[in-house]
Amino acid sequence: DDLVCFRDIKPGAPHHYLVVPVEHMGNCKTLKAEHIPVVKKMMEVGKAVLQRNNFSDLNDIRMGFHWPPFCSISHLHLHVLAPASQLGFLSRLVYRINSYWFIT
């Protein structure tokens, strides 16, 4: 009831979903310790959606947030990508683990 999930319109992997809180939250820079349960739930939903879409290797996924100013909208959204091993060259850059622009 408090989260929605949908496919990314410009997928970076065969499975690319966005998990978004229904209630407005700013970008990942505005997160505080009190938001940890929400972020954990977002990750659980992302994994569940992958499994419902017949992707079971949860060791081959990438989840994270684009760090401002590299996010396209100012509403918190978690990128869920799988299989991470099949990210193309550009996607490996855009969704690079703990880079200046993408945090996991």
C-alpha triplet 48, 93, 102: angle, nearest 5°: 60
Q: What is the pLDDT of residues 55-104, one digit of tens each?
A: 999 999 999 999 988 888 889 999 999 999 999 999 999 999 989 999 98
**79 annotated active-site:** no
Q: What is the reported pLDDT for 56?
A: 93
Q: What is the reported pLDDT for 44?
A: 98
Answer CATH for 3-103 from 2.40.50.150, 1.20.1530.20, 3.40.50.11740, 3.30.428.10: 3.30.428.10
Q: Give the domain ranges of the chain.
A: 3-103
The residue from 15, 66, 77, 79 that is catalytic is 77
Taking alpha carbons only, the member of 21, 31, 22, 8 closest to residue 81 is 8
Tokens 């990508």 correspond to what residue? 81
Q: What is the reported pLDDT for 92?
A: 95
Q: What is the pTM of this model?
A: 0.94
